[in-house]
Structure 1
Amino acid sequence: MADEQTILYRERQRFRQFWLWVVVLCVAAIFWVGFVYQVLLGGVYGNRPVPDVQLSILFVLMGLGLPYFFYRMSLTTEVQPGLVQVRLWPFHIKPVKIPLHLVRDYERVTYNPISDYGGWGIRWGFKGKAYNMSGNEGVKLYFYSRDPLLIGSQNAGELFAAISEAKRAKG
């Protein structure tokens, strides 16, 4: 008999900010242009060009790897009875488990990602720690013995309701 936990809520978020993709793709484009011009067409790219092998390595890392890295990065939030799990791939190999018996209170919040936490991702600010990918809504968890934790969500109402149900169920 499999001991499968009931999943009350699951959300996977990715970076959706247009400006972020403009920056990432502009950086990648610099390496694409350099690679095509110098390696494929035989020109000299820049005042102090690097050897073709080094430029090829940089092209793979920055021209292909950087956009792929941002494309694959995701924040997964999962609520089970008595437990919330958060995983920001590729930074967390295993999900961060938050037992709900340690949570004294929680609320649905609208926040400013830049001024409150300094941006998106895994962030620390004066208002506690945050896991967020995009948007400005989430659920803030208040603990008995540590700083608050904000979990950003595109469906903050559903996340709040699932945490309420999970806290009542207590696994």
Structure 2
Amino acid sequence: MKEQEHVIFREVQRPRQIWVWLVILAIAVFMWYSFIKQVIFGISMGNNPAPNAVLLIFWLIFGIAFPLGLLGFMKLITEVRRDGIYVRFVPFHIQYKPFLFKDIVNYTSIKYNSFTRFGGWGIRINFKGETAYNMGGDQGLELQLSRNKTVVVGSQNPDELVKAIDLTQKV
């Protein structure tokens, strides 16, 4: 890809919180159990069981696609290129979301609490209109954009991220 020829900094983050893994795996195990018990062995789940077709759909979504999508493919990719910062939250973004340097008024490495500021991890927008792209942790890069908007990009290496941006600004 031509656009990735000029990547100065690249960080790929994956979910690390054990509780996220446990919740997703617990849902998947329950769906597998329900599917096997009702569809394979013919033993109804509960007093008012869902039809097998509905259970099959739920099993495909929450027993296979959901865990694979979130645990297998989910990642936050942050890149610094010559013209800006690019963020992609896989599998939710098909393309990179660009934050061009011409639109960035200020940037700084920060320490923040994702739960108190944004209500959790992922792609978040708080009541102040600030947007966050974070996978976990309490460090990141805060961007003040010319449209009077604030964007926080979570990072495990915020100082390296700032150094890469500084490097592009000197050129």
Q: TM-score, normalised by structure 1?
A: 0.90
Q: How do 1:53-132 residues align onto structure 2 when only pairs under 5 Å count?
A: 53-71=53-71, 72-125=73-126, 126=128, 128-132=130-134
SS of the aligned residue for 2:53 comes to helix
Q: Give the Cα separation in 1 of the matches to 2:110 and 2:46.
A: 49
SS of the aligned residue for 1:150 comes to strand
Determine what percentage of the aligned residue pairs are the same residue.
Answer: 35
Q: How many residue pairs are counted as aligned between the two chains? A: 168
Question: Which one scores higher on RCO, CA 8 angstroms, separation ≥ 6?
Answer: 1
Q: Give the Cα separation in 2 of the matches to 1:32 and 1:4.
A: 40
Cα distance change on mapping 1:66 and 1:138 into 2, 3 Å: same
CA RMSD of superposed structures (Å): 1.7
Shift of 1:4: 6.3
Moved more, 77-86 or 44-53: 44-53
Shift of 1:42: 2.1
Counterpart in the other structure of 2:144: 142
Q: Give CA deviations for 1:97-141 in whole Å, capped at 9, x if unaligned.
A: 111122121111000000011111111123721111111101111
* Amino acid across the alignment from 1:65: A
1:34 paired to 2:41? no
Which of 160, 164, 167 pairs up with 2:166?
164
Q: Give the Cα separation in 1 of the matches to 2:29 and 2:79.
A: 36
Shift of 1:157: 1.3
Q: Give CA deviations for 1:40-69 in whole Å, capped at 9, x if unaligned.
A: 222111111122232122111111111112
Kindly report structure 1 stretches of 4+ aligned residues shifted beyond 6 Å. Answer: none
5+ long unaligned stretches in structure 2: none
* Amino acid across the alignment from 1:57: I
* Amino acid across the alignment from 1:107: T
Q: Give the Cα separation in 2 of the matches to 1:134 and 1:3.
A: 27
Q: TM-score, normalised by structure 2?
A: 0.90
Q: Give the Cα separation in 1 of the matches to 2:40 and 2:76.
A: 38
5+ long unaligned stretches in structure 1: none
Q: Give CA deviations for 1:5-31 in whole Å, capped at 9, x if unaligned.
A: 421101111221111111111111211
Counterpart in the other structure of 1:8: 8
